[in-house]
Amino acid sequence: MFCTIGIFLLVAKLSEGLVLPRQAASNAPEQIRISLGKDPNSMVIMWTTMQALNNPSTVPQVVYGVNPFYLKSSSNASINKFVYSGGQQYIYTATLQNLTPATRY
Ligand SMILES: *[C@@H]1O[C@H](CO)[C@@H](O)[C@H](O)[C@H]1NC(C)=O
């Protein structure tokens, strides 16, 4: 009994180590950019993934707030597929609006 559980856990751990991190890396956020928005109360967050999201109905979001333990605001991002000769990337853009100036988020 004990042995069976041990082997099961080992197999689960192995498959996690061999499969999951690779998938996670391909659509993990990279190249995060933060820039000023059109008005003083907004900021634009952009990031890139090398592959599309696993679930096409997922809405990518930036979650933010003034309290790092309670991020109560979110902003949906738009997705733009960028195709170039060497491959493709997905570029995400979210605008955070109604921010309070001189405040750390
Ligand atoms: C953001 O996406 C969620 C999930 O699809 C949706 O329910 C919500 O209305 C969206 N928010 C805005 C501001 O579009």
Distances (CA, A) of 63 to 45, 58, 66, 72, 95: 11, 14, 11, 7, 11
Return the domain boundaries, the chain: 27-96
Answer yes or no: is the C-beta of 78 below 6 A from any ligand 1 atom: no
CA distance 53 to 57: 9
C-alpha 76 – ligand 1 centre gap (Å): 6
CA distance 54 to 92: 15
Answer yes or no: is the C-beta of 63 below 6 A from any ligand 1 atom: no
Is 95 within 8 Å of 37 (Cβ atoms)?
A: yes
CA distance 11 to 20: 13
CA distance 73 to 21: 28
Whose alpha carbon is nearest atom 7 of ligand 1? 59
Question: Residues 76-82: contacts with CB within 8 Å, 24+ apart?
Answer: 77/45, 81/52
Answer yes or no: is the C-beta of 59 below 6 A from any ligand 1 atom: yes
> Which residue matches tokens 């738009």?
78
Q: What is the pLDDT along the chain (105 residues), one digit of tens a residue?
A: 444 444 444 444 444 444 444 444 478 899 999 999 999 999 999 999 999 998 889 999 999 999 999 999 999 999 999 999 988 999 999 999 999 999 999
Tell me if the domain spanning 27-96 has CATH number 3.40.50.261: no
Answer yes or no: is the C-beta of 58 below 6 A from any ligand 1 atom: no
